[in-house]
Amino acid sequence: MNDSLGLLEFFAMSDLVTPMALRTAATLRIADHLADGPRDLKDLAVAAGCDADALGRVLRYLAARGVFVALDDDRFELGGTARWLLDDDPSAARRWLDQDGYGATMDRAHLDLLGIVQRGGPLQAANKTSLDATAAASYDSLMAANTRNEAPLLVRAIDWTRFEHVVDVGGGTGVQLAAILTAFPHLRGTLVELPASLEAAERLLADAGLNERCGVVAGNLFELELPEADAFLLRMLVHSFEDEQAVEALTRCRRALRPGGAIFVAEAADTHQKGFTTQDLIVLVLGHGRERTLAQYDELASAAGLRRVAIHTPPAGPRALEYTA
């Protein structure tokens, strides 16, 4: 009996039907169409712009798994887990699953996992540096949603009162940096990001009332002269690089670091194996990256002329390794 249960669980892990049904419902925004109450299938299909018969099959499949509720064959309402498919849910799950956004780029990259393993890498990178403007905007939106949930935790995990100027390298639209500057009014900040993120970052910082205390430097990290500062934050960035680039990124930060300053490398902890191995596989299929153990990060830092002095571990989100020259 235990063997049979194990086999069922094994096949459930390999199932592609459920993931694709959820992605279809997310992309068609079915939960949002049902947010105000039950709807008939034909009406729902018109609202979603799709075939009623085919949509009905998908919804009945998901209803059998508790996502939606089938009041009868042709009438549906939200189920207990469907709230995560609402566009305004803080998890941003719908946007991650939306096949018109960056989530689809990640999904397609994983479909080539066999070839990636055989070749040692993807034929074409699917990380931010390789995205067009539309995909890059979707990427920024998803990263901002993730960071927004974790930003206050990293703010509280580190004593930012020690610093005067914080540079967030590869900080997306500035969600984490804005949280730090808002919590510590004495700080100045600089966001360093690719040009594709400039407009959204400037808008976010303006909305937070931080324009006078925070500047934005647009460009590629490896082609820029970083501003001098006493704190540098690289959040979920170094794992996007192979070793040589990672050392160069840390070296560029060290050169701009004021005496007594600190460089924070915030990445997944290798003590949490499920999350660590998931991130490691994701950066493999997206190209050019890898997750690293604490010892491996220390080796990179040492090659860049840095030594670790602390580890800051918030209750959720990436831990921050603190390095100094």
Report yes or no: 322 and 154 within 8 Å, Cβ to Cβ.
no
Residue 276 CA to residue 77 CA, distance in Å, equals 37
- What are the tokens at 124? 């074409």
Q: How far apart, in whole angstroms, are the C-alpha atoms of residue 127 and residue 297?
A: 21
What are the b/e assignments for 104-134, b being 16+ CB within 10 Å?
A: bbbbebeebeeebeeeeebeebbbbeebeee
Question: Residue 29 and residue 95: Cα distance in Å, rounded?
Answer: 10
The DSSP-derived string for 200-246 is: HHHHHHHHTT-TTTEEEEES-GGGS-PPPEEEEEEES-GGGS-HHHH
Distance (Å, rounded) from C-alpha 99 to C-alpha 24? 8
Q: What is the DSSP letter of 294?
A: H
Residue pair 168/204 in contact by the 8 Å Cβ criterion: no
**What is the DSSP annotation of 173-206?**
TSHHHHHHHHH-TT-EEEEEE-GGGHHHHHHHHH
Q: Using CB atoms within 10 A of its CB, is residue 230 exposed (0-12), middle (13-18) or buried (19+)?
A: middle
What is the CB neighbour count within 10 angstroms for residue 298?
17
- Show the CA angle centred on residue 227, arms to residues 225 and 233, nearest 5°: 105
**Could you give the CA distance from residue 126 to residue 105 in angstroms, rounded to a whole number?**
7
Q: Is 239 a catalytic residue?
A: yes
Q: 186, 239, 288, 312: which one is catalytic? A: 239
Q: Which residue has the tokens 């490691």?
A: 280
Please give the positions annotated as active site. 239
